[in-house]
Structure 1
Amino acid sequence: MSAINISKNNFRTEVLQSEKPVLLDFWAPWCGPCRMVVPLVEEIAEERTDIKVAKINVDEEPELAAQFQIMSIPTLMVVKNGTVVNQAMGARPKEQILAML
């Protein structure tokens, strides 16, 4: 399964009410480091059925970016049971992203 695009319309059901942990990628198309992380996030989405992988475009969803106080992108978060349990800013290798889970 590929990563789900998150908007304010589906955020509650896809992230906060998810029964699985959610790996959230805050990104923007103009961001170079974000473009480095996207293929890794998509790989994880394909490989891991035990988690949900989702992306939030900060240009299209400024309210969600503000809600999570996103100051730098890419920012990766792990949300379990509606709570942020891990967070990292900047591009990371796949192993470090998986270690966040």
Structure 2
Amino acid sequence: MSKVLHPNENEFLDFYQNAELLFIDFFAEWCGPCKMLAPSIDKLADEHPEATVVKIDVDATPLLAAKFNVQSIPSLFVVKKGKITNKQLGFVPYPALENMLKG
């Protein structure tokens, strides 16, 4: 079972404000690159328990996507103690996801 969380907007805001290390994947069900990235996001959550990994469906939560100025998906963010420390657009290989957490 995947450790990736699919929070609603209120739950997400709580994670954003309180998680030591948060990895966010803004995606959509119809997005091909998002589907290709999904197994790597699951692996990241499984192999990095120090990080809270969340997926945010841009169609279900457009206000959150707007707050993060998401204009392309997948859009990936790393947040440490409430501050965005890394950002990546589009499909990236698994090692790049791990490097995002370290950056």
In the superposition, the TM-score normalised over structure 1's length comes to 0.94
Tell me which protein shows more helix as a share of its residues.
2
Aligned to 2:23: 23
- 1:87 partner SS: strand
User: Which amino acid letter does the alignment assign opposite residue 92 of structure 1?
Assistant: V
Structure 2: runs of 5+ lacking an equivalent: none
Return the alpha-carbon distance in structure 2 between the equivalents of residues 68 and 13 of structure 1.
Answer: 15
Return the alpha-carbon distance in structure 2 between the equivalents of residues 28 and 13 of structure 1.
Answer: 22
- 1:4 partner SS: coil
- 2:34 partner SS: helix
**RMSD of the TM alignment (CA)?**
1.0
Return the alpha-carbon distance in structure 2 between the equivalents of residues 96 and 16 of structure 1.
Answer: 25
In the superposition, the TM-score normalised over structure 2's length comes to 0.92
Task: Kindly provide the CA deviation profile for residues 46-88 of structure 1, in whole angstroms up to 9, marking residues without a partner as x.
Answer: 1111111111000000000000000000011001111111000
- 1:54 partner SS: strand
Displacement after TM superposition at 1:6 (Å): 2.4
- 1:26 partner SS: strand
What percent identity do the matched residue pairs reach?
37
Aligned to 1:13: 14
Structure 1: runs of 5+ lacking an equivalent: none
4+ aligned runs moved over 3 Å, structure 1: none
Aligned to 1:32: 32
Aligned to 1:75: 75
